[in-house]
Amino acid sequence: MADSVLDEVDPAFPAGSGTGIPGIRALYRGAKRSAWDPLTAVPWELFDANAYSEETRWAGRVYWSGRAWGEYGAVSESPALQLRYDLDGLEPELSLFWALRTQEEARHAEVSVRMADLLGGYLDDLPPLVQPEPADLKGAGEVKDPPSGAPAPAAPAPAGPAQAGPAPEGGPPVESNAPHLGTRARALAPEVPVEATIAGLVCVAETIVLDVFRELVKEVVDPVAKEIFRLIVRDETRHCQFGWLYLEHRADKMTDSIRAACVAVMTAMVGEIELGGYRSPWLDPTRNPALVEIERRVFEAGLGGTTQEWEGPVLVSSIRALRERVARFRIELPTFRHPALGVI
């Protein structure tokens, strides 16, 4: 077997005219019609910085910068899947939809940067997180350095390094040096079926995010943040539908080996990435307690964020629902355990 799908020869022609999977062609059409302009679709003029304390603006700045990093991950990694669709000679509507999806994720990153800027300035990395004291803050735009002589705390993520671990069975190791979901690596690895990559990225990671954001929109009070989340939810709904539709399309053709790969990737995505705190730091509070507190402050201010008490039930419900949903394709996910959430 080739080391990379890029060892295969380019296809010369698209495999059809984009009508092979009608449900996905419909999603593509929906994406065209729902396209929005980040400059005008969000009521930026409604943002009132004075409505928030300096500490809250700081927390919001960190949170929304982290949102931008997460959205950027989709811009950085998942276009590789379009290349895989092409090289595998898959239905071209996958590529058409994916092209629009990449642009939607770019919009999500763009508006997240703008929101961070409104709150004091986009941060290009996780700052050394010391609990900010109001007297030490010179302004919402300042990044606080650690006290002289103290080492900067290691910067884990929301978008920080996914913990490298042994390769999930049937899949390549999550990239150990990169703070990513491993989508790019999986997309280009010929031994990882496309179904498994989509199952992990879309049917787990994006589905959980969508379930959380659908609830979060109800909690967000700030009108600018609320509209941003509403637009993201609308786009992500289509993104998730894509993944589930594709698995449904492939259900009868999936071999035991492909199903095993789906199980491996989905299990790793839930157990190691999601429950490991990749997206919500409260799931691994020892890694960066300051970040947990930041997200709480942002949540209580109605700017986004999360708390364990609020998100825990949503997350558990989401994981149970996706396990039930994917079982229709004879993909059986294990029980998960988490110190705060118990048995899922």
Cβ of residue 236: shortest distance to another protein, in angstroms?
Answer: 16
Counting contacts by CB under 8 A, is residue 9 touching another protein?
yes
CB of 189 to another protein, least distance (A): 11
Instruction: Out of 24, 42, 59, 68, point to the residue binding another protein (CB under 8 A).
Output: 68
Residue count (the chain): 344
Which 3 state secondary structure label does DSSP give 243? Answer: helix
Q: Residues in contact with another protein, total (CB under 8 A)?
A: 62
User: Where in 109-168 is the site for another protein (CB under 8 A)?
Assistant: 109-110, 113, 122, 124-126, 155, 159
CA distance 169 to 166: 9
- Interaction between residue 26 and another protein (CB under 8 A): no
Residue 343 forms beta bridges with which residues?
Answer: 337
Residue closer to another protein by CB (options 30, 302) is 30
Q: Does 87 participate in binding another protein (rule CB under 8 A)? A: yes
Backbone angle region of 146, left / alpha / beta, with phi > 0 → left and psi within -120 to 50 → alpha: beta
By CB under 8 A, is residue 69 in contact with another protein? Answer: yes
Hey, what amino acid is at 229? Answer: F
Dihedral sign from CA coordinates of 178, 181, 187, 191: positive
Q: What are phi and psi of 191, to 5 degrees?
A: -80, -10
Q: Are 321 and 244 in contact (CB under 8 A)?
A: no
Q: Which is nearer to another protein, 113 or 283 (CB)?
A: 113
Backbone CA torsion sign across 72, 78, 82, 87: positive
3-state secondary structure of 338: strand
Among 24, 119, 162, 188, binds another protein (CB under 8 A): 188
Instruction: Please list every residue from 303 through 332 that binds another protein, using CB under 8 A.
Output: none
- Write out the residues near another protein by the rule CB under 8 A: 3-4, 6-7, 9-18, 28-29, 32-33, 35-40, 68-69, 72, 75-77, 79-80, 82-83, 86-87, 92, 95-96, 98-100, 102-103, 105-107, 109-110, 113, 122, 124-126, 155, 159, 177-180, 184, 188
